[in-house]
Amino acid sequence: MDEGFPPVIDKTLLDEMRCRDKGCDDLRIAACKSGSGAVKELVFCQLDGCYYVTVDGRERLRSDVPETAYRYFSGPAPE
């Protein structure tokens, strides 16, 4: 490890730690399984006030506009 540079920090892990530290949990709003078998979730993050959509556990979209997240959640799952 090079002493001149800070270590690489996983932003997702950092956000999760910060959220847990403040005592909040993401609020799962809805989940469904697409025709291809992919599991989609619509989630609200209390930390930043954004809605996001995951497909098979990977975040695909984050928005502070609920309608945008819902439209993405309601559409076909990206493969």
Q: Is 57 among the domain residues?
A: yes
Could you count the other beta carbons within 10 Å of the beta carbon of residue 65? 10
Q: Is 39 among the domain residues?
A: yes
In this prediction the pTM is 0.66
Q: Is 24 among the domain residues?
A: no
Q: Is 49 among the domain residues?
A: yes
- Number of domains composing the chain: 1
In contact, 47 and 19? CB cutoff 8 Å: yes
Q: Is 38 among the domain residues?
A: yes
Q: Is 17 among the domain residues?
A: no
Q: Domain of 51?
A: 31-79
Q: What is the pLDDT of residue 6?
A: 56
Q: Is 20 among the domain residues?
A: no
Sheet holding 50-55, edge to edge: 27-33, 39-45, 50-55, 58-63
Alpha-carbon distance of 34 to 18, in angstroms, equals 32
User: What does the DSSP 8-state code read for residue 2?
Assistant: -
Q: What is the pLDDT of residue 34?
A: 83
Output the tens digit of pLDDT for each of the chain's 79 residues. 455 545 666 666 666 666 555 556 788 899 998 888 889 999 998 888 899 999 998 999 999 999 999 999 988 766 5
Q: Is 58 among the domain residues?
A: yes
Q: What is the pLDDT of residue 43?
A: 92
